[in-house]
A and B are shown apart, each in its own frame.
Chain A
Amino acid sequence: MDEMRMLRDHHDAQPSPSADSVVAARARLAAHTRPRGLRLPRLGRVALGAGALGAALAVGLVVVQVVDGDREPGVLKAEPASAAEVLDNAATAARHRHDPEPRPTQFVYAEVLRSEYGSGGVRGAERGWQNTHLRTWIPADGKADGLLQEKRTGGGAPAGEAWSTSPLRQPNGGPLGDPNNYLSLDRLPRDPDKLLAALHRRYPGRHSADPIRDRSSDEEVFDGVEGMVTQSYVPPTLQTALFQATKKIPGITLVKDAVDAAGRHGVAVALTFEDGTREEIIFDRGSYVPLGSRDVLDDPAAYNRRFADLKGVARGQTLSVTALLSTRVVDRPGRLS
């Protein structure tokens, strides 16, 4: 019996919910869905914005001021003064980049380094860094099997460990349908406002009935942009629009020096989440190419109110970091040309 079967059996052995449980849950839902007069659905977001701003001020980060400079295209300042300026520079730089425009049957190859910090806080969990080297081939149209190669590097992994290779496909067969395949990315609007609206639909907030919310839509959108630009190939015109849209996310901050998983220093645009972690998109200082991403423990008290796995870990600890080493368009999975 393999582990998937064992897990499935354990799941299937759970009893059905009792009749009492169903009745009680249905009654709670009915009470919850009853109209309660006028609501102010946007109020929460205003409160969040103020909180994020307050947190940014408290830790001494530079708060974004929206600057609408009439910068000449291609002239990139060395020392950006705000997150908005970094994003302007990145948007301008992307506008001048060539798009290889993969055909639907081609594959987009991406090579990523990822390191994750384990606090060892949960018994049995590993302490220290786990480093993984990943190579993915995603079909441009999402309609064929993709391919994943990965191996552990450093962090106690045996030297010279071989790549483990596995197809990326649906367990029951059928197309892969990665939401970040080239064609689905290419369909996103290039107008920054329309794009931002599309991103909010693509990455809705994760709310629960509990007053302490898990993820706002702004946080999810920022995280979604981070995933697109630091883990996969994004058409340059879309990159330009993405960076312009990201400027409109309230609470973004500038981080003057950040290091990616390959040890490359850059400048970063960041958002501190309600859970106390700060997510950063790191850019090269000269070319403004996205280098990678980093999650940092920014507010341990906020984090520890929610989770127990980082007790005693100091503020500023990097929790995970990635580096996008290369992307290219290739004809077949497993090949580099």
Chain B
Amino acid sequence: MALPHTSPPGVVRVPDEPTDAELIEQSRDEPERFSVIFDRYYARIHRYVASRLGPAAADDVAADTFLAAFDQRRRYDLARPEARAWLFGIATNLIGRHRRAEIRAYRAMGRAAERDDADSHADRVADRVSAERMNPRLAAGLAALSKGDRDVLLLVACGQLAYDEVGVALGIPAGTVGSRLNRARKRLRATLGKEMYVHG
């Protein structure tokens, strides 16, 4: 089943370079070809995992993602030139094993930001975009979401996947992607509450 597929903005592939699908197909007989997939995606997968589990756990989970992907390479749908959604799906699946660690990470990130309550408004704004700190309400809101809702939300917001890619990554219909995303956003907004308007 070949779905129409578009490159994310800013990604331009040199015509001579093989597509992900071509590399994965070659890797079925020449395993070392898979290292090119690793080189293309490791940093992106690592960053996504770090945003959910923290940088320390990201080293292991991001590495595991490529081992698992290699094991599944024979089942890759070669009609999809880009492996992005597939890899994000595998990473998300592995993150699911660390559900408790993820919740703990959000709490820790929320607390790190809260300690600086006395700081100036400008500092707090800066904190919000620092790696290990997170707006406490945002952190609490994320921790309270169901895993399914959080997966969809973060694949769209952080992974920058399109609806059909999220569907491929999680194996769910686009209608479910839309409804989970709506619900997750609504709940986060409710948790963020007034603060959204103050700083919006």
- A interface residues, Cβ below 8 angstroms from B: 1-4, 6-17, 21-22, 24-26, 28-30, 32-35, 110, 116, 118, 122-126, 132, 134, 136, 138, 142, 146, 148, 150, 164, 166, 168-172, 174-180, 184, 187, 200-210, 214-215, 217, 220, 223-224, 227, 231-232, 306-309
B199 interfacial by beta-carbon distance below 8 Å? yes
Q: Chain B, 166-177, contact with A by CB distance < 8 Å: what is the 0/1 string?
A: 011001111110
Please determine whether A169 and B31 come into contact, CB atoms closer than 8 angstroms. no
Please determine whether B63 and A29 come into contact, CB atoms closer than 8 angstroms. yes
Q: How far, in Å, is B67 (CB) from chain A's closest CB?
A: 4
Q: How far, in Å, is A125 (CB) from chain B's closest CB?
A: 5
Please determine whether A13 and B99 come into contact, CB atoms closer than 8 angstroms. no
**Number of A-B residue pairs having CB atoms within 8 Å of each other in the complex:** 238
Please determine whether A176 and B163 come into contact, CB atoms closer than 8 angstroms. yes
Task: Check A4/B70 contact, CB under 8 A, given A24-B59, A171-B156.
Answer: no
Please determine whether A6 and B138 come into contact, CB atoms closer than 8 angstroms. yes
Please determine whether B31 and A207 come into contact, CB atoms closer than 8 angstroms. no
Cα-based distance from A130 to B141 in the complex (angstroms) = 17
- What 7 A-B pairs have minimum CB-CB distances, sorted nearest first? A204-B75, A25-B63, A178-B174, A11-B158, A33-B31, A7-B157, A177-B164
Q: Which residue from chain B places its CB closest to the CB of A149 in the assembled complex?
A: B179
Q: How far, in Å, is A233 (CB) from chain B's closest CB?
A: 12
Most central of B50, B131, B135, B174 by chain A CB within 10 Å: B174
Please determine whether A10 and B72 come into contact, CB atoms closer than 8 angstroms. no
Please determine whether A179 and B173 come into contact, CB atoms closer than 8 angstroms. yes
Task: Check A125/B144 contact, CB under 8 A, given A176-B163, A232-B173.
Answer: yes
Inside 8 A of B108's CB, which chain A residues have their CB? none
Q: Which residue from chain A places its CB closest to the CB of B61 in the assembled complex?
A: A208
Please determine whether A184 and B138 come into contact, CB atoms closer than 8 angstroms. no
Inside 8 A of B1's CB, which chain A residues have their CB? 179, 184, 187, 202
Please determine whether B38 and A11 come into contact, CB atoms closer than 8 angstroms. no
Inside 8 A of A306's CB, which chain B residues have their CB? 97
Selected contact of B158 from candidates A7, A205, A224, CB within 8 Å: A7
B21 interfacial by beta-carbon distance below 8 Å? no
Selected contact of A179 from candidates B72, B143, B167, CB within 8 Å: B167
A-B contact pairs, 15 of them (CB 8 A): A1-B200, A3-B189, A7-B51, A10-B51, A13-B130, A14-B131, A110-B175, A122-B143, A176-B174, A178-B175, A202-B77, A206-B72, A207-B68, A207-B72, A209-B64
